[in-house]
Chain A
Amino acid sequence: MNQEKPILEMIDIHKSFPGVKALNGVTLRAFKGEVMGLLGENGAGKSTLMKILSGVYQKDSGKILIEGKEVEIHNVREAQKLGISIIHQELSLLPNLTVYENLFLGNELVSKLVKKLKKQEMIKQSKELLMQIGFDINPARYVKELSVGEMQLLEIIKAVSKNSKIIIMDEPTAALTEEEVRRLFEIINQLKRQGVAIIYISHRIEEIFEICDRVTVLRDGMLVGEEKVENLTKEKLISMMVGRTLTEQFPYEKVEKGKTLLKVVNLSYGNKLKNISFELKKGEILGIAGLMGAGRTELGKVIFGEYKKTAGEIYLEGKKIKINSPAQAIRYGIVYLPEDRKREGLVLKLPVIYNMTLSNLRKYESGVFRKLNKKDEMNDYKNFVKRLSIKVSNPYQLVKNLSGGNQQKVIIAKWLLVSPKVLIIDEPTRGIDVGAKREIYEILNQLKKDGCGIIMISSEMPEILGISDRILVMHEGTITGEVEREKATQELIMKYAVGIT
């Protein structure tokens, strides 16, 4: 392949967010006419690095060289001028406009005098552009009529039409059919021949080996290494991705497992979940690992009744149950703690006490006029503030003014108030400081001892390994592996998570 100088070099890039070091001296190169795979677990720093390259974030320190010259990228427009385009998972096309209108957006061809749009000319040029890449659609069609795959291809063509020299593709195949993936790969090969450098982010190991020339692996915001694909095996790649030394101590406690609490049989949800079956025992923390988009959150929300399952059965303590809404799930004693605290877990405008008792108000009602007994409510509030050591100045403090850890504890308290049998907790410690993290693990352990069954969805590998009694690994909507705590290793879980069985 190409042995000349790299077209892009990002050298010793550092980036911190409040409380988190996202990138710690990362170096990345890309070469003309080559595909550089960028790999790493969730949170390894891939997205942050690419956002810096495309001008969304500013680096704290480090250098970016393009064709050997140092550049500063302050915003997306500057990145585009330098020939850098990013194709996101969330598409940036305007669905209510046509294909050619999208292609020419911001660069419309207009007549000199009255600035009338030259529609025919734009359609003609669009057609040429599309044909050049072997993508045969009518430029006058509306984007909303296209399939997701076609939109993705159109997005790529849009990037090419801006004479991009470097194209970043973030999980481009996530929503594509097999056939569309083929077409995408043909287009990528054609771009390579035209000398474009491509940075390709994917969780699908097979694709990496098929389309990439080299890979760069990140882990916890650091560079693990850059390697030519021909020198790699799948096993080698996985150990690069996960090979951290586990230093953090987790307060794990062994509890005698009880009877089966929850049994899920052949659960499906559209194409997001396929034939999921598992059991959860009393006194057990069942970790659910997997990469982003594996369907873990969907699994939690289907069991909780927020999403309607398309097939399968759920049994609670041996009895088949039907769950059509979260309200029903709560009545069965199944609760779900969402991963996005602010959007799904809290009413930020309301006081801490109102948030905490929101699911438990029925218990305070009394009399013909169903007056809420606010004394009982206050007692419950005080108990849980003490029990979970929530730091709050007064009951009527707005919940938005609490720290992340204390907010999470308020939601936990909300669910403990309804005495759940099954607690599904999605990313229990996301965005929470170390001290509060530990407290939350202790709470989970205590619940386990009290006979609760816990399903813990987590993207944090150490957390999964440190707290779970048993681990299920998901990949593209299916369970690809089940590992007992004693046998669990990072490599094994990652192998299942990327779909190697």
Chain B
Amino acid sequence: MTHLKEKILKYKSAIGLVLLCLLLSVITPTFLSVSNILNVLTQISVNAIIAMGMSFVIITGGIDLSVGSILAITGAVAAYLIKTTDNLFVSIVVAIIIGSLIGFLNGFIIAERKVQPFIATLATMTIFRGVTYVFTNGTPISGLGETFGFLGNGKVVGIPFPVIVMLIIFFIGAYILNETRFGRYVYAIGGNEDTARLSGINTNYIKTLVYFISGMMAAISGILVASRIDSATPTAGTGYELDAIAAVVLGGTSLSGGEGTIIGTLIGAMIIGVINNGLNLLNVSPFYQAIVKGIIILIAVLADKKGQ
């Protein structure tokens, strides 16, 4: 009996997602079609990739508010480079390096300078949003060409490219978190940083790296977003940090750190995606969608509290 209860608690996010899908396949005729499922997966890919990086940060007990701004600046850089050099490789690599470096900067400020993650990334979020405006001069960089456009819109054996990227990233993320020393350290730091340090872990290094990862994921998302809409806008990614945090929390990761899984985050992102999709299929006004999303998050967190 208690065993069953434990199981249910452990997989509550997954159970929630399944129930949600069942409900939607009954009340809408189109939900359970291959094209709609692929559509949902494509739509969640950007948020899911950001949330993957965010999971590492949140499991260490931190938070990264700067991901939306990193997405914007890296998207703009990628767009600028593809237009000026027409070299896809350079465009992607430079954008990813810049995103990673901004993440590294976050990590340095937080780990070495001991600034609260919330404040540190609030500052860099503001700074890099500004940098994006300066860099783009406030106007979108559009017309990025077909090669670049493939990243966000192309398909490989029928599967949208962003979905493939997302799946690869989740595979790697889950591997790092579950199968490597680094992953174990991430949990240890989030669980008790003093113990981690006194156990010989270089806590500052690990903390810096998680923000580095988060920055890198935001950069990958930045490229995908710019490619998808064939344009890098200075307002891209605004508010994305909150969607990513929501996905992580819906996936059962505690904001106090030390707990959580990568697969949970994927499920969390899917729950958000399925809700949005379902409400669209049911012709619910987008104005209500935000309300529903917020309520679901609240229910999930309250249920989590009760489970403890």
Contact = CB atoms under 8 A, between A and B. Distances in A.
A343 B194 contact: yes
Contacts of A354: 184, 187-188
A349 interface: yes
Contacts of B149: none
A346 B192 contact: yes
A38 B166 CA distance: 67
**Minimum-distance CB pairs A-B, first 4:** A347-B191, A330-B200, A361-B181, A327-B200
Interface string A27-44: 000000000000000000
11 contacts: A325-B197, A326-B198, A327-B200, A344-B198, A347-B187, A347-B196, A348-B191, A349-B191, A349-B258, A358-B184, A358-B201
Given A327-B202, A329-B200, A370-B181, 16 more contacts: A325-B202, A326-B199, A327-B201, A336-B198, A346-B195, A347-B188, A347-B192, A347-B196, A348-B191, A349-B259, A350-B188, A350-B191, A359-B199, A369-B175, A369-B179, A370-B180
A358 B201 CA distance: 9
Contact of B188 (A358, A364, A372): A358
Interface string A334-373: 0010100001111111100010001101101100011110
A372 B184 CA distance: 10
Interface residues of A, number: 30
Interface string B40-81: 000000000000000000000000000000000000000000
A235 B16 CA distance: 72
A414 interface: yes
Contacts of B179: 369, 371-372
A343 B194 CA distance: 7
Nearest to A329: B200
Contact of B198 (A345, A349, A362, A369): A345
Contact of A345 (B175, B181, B195, B200): B195
A70 to B, nearest CB: 44
Interface of A: 304, 306, 325-327, 329-331, 336, 338, 343-350, 354, 358-359, 361-362, 364-365, 369-372, 414
Interface residues of B, number: 21
Nearest to B180: A370
A345 B191 CA distance: 12
B197 A372 contact: no
A449 B187 CA distance: 36
A244 B273 CA distance: 71
B181 A414 contact: no
Contacts of A346: 192, 195
Contacts of B185: 361
Nearest to A358: B199
A376 B201 CA distance: 20
Contacts of B196: 347, 358
Contacts of B192: 343, 346-349
B252 to A, nearest CB: 13
A371 B188 contact: no
Contact of A326 (B184, B191, B197, B258): B197
B13 to A, nearest CB: 18
A359 B195 CA distance: 11
A344 B198 CA distance: 7
Nearest to B196: A347
Contact of A344 (B187, B195, B201, B258): B195
A329 B198 CA distance: 10
A330 B188 CA distance: 17
Interface string B81-92: 000000000000
A306 B184 contact: no
A361 B180 CA distance: 9
Given A361-B181, A371-B179, A306 B195 contact: no
Which of A304, A327, A365 has its CB near the most chain B CB atoms (within 10 A)? Answer: A327
Interface in B196-231: 196-202
Which of B179, B180, B184, B198 has its CB near the most chain A CB atoms (within 10 A)? Answer: B198
Which of B179, B192, B196 has its CB near the most chain A CB atoms (within 10 A)? Answer: B192
B106 to A, nearest CB: 23
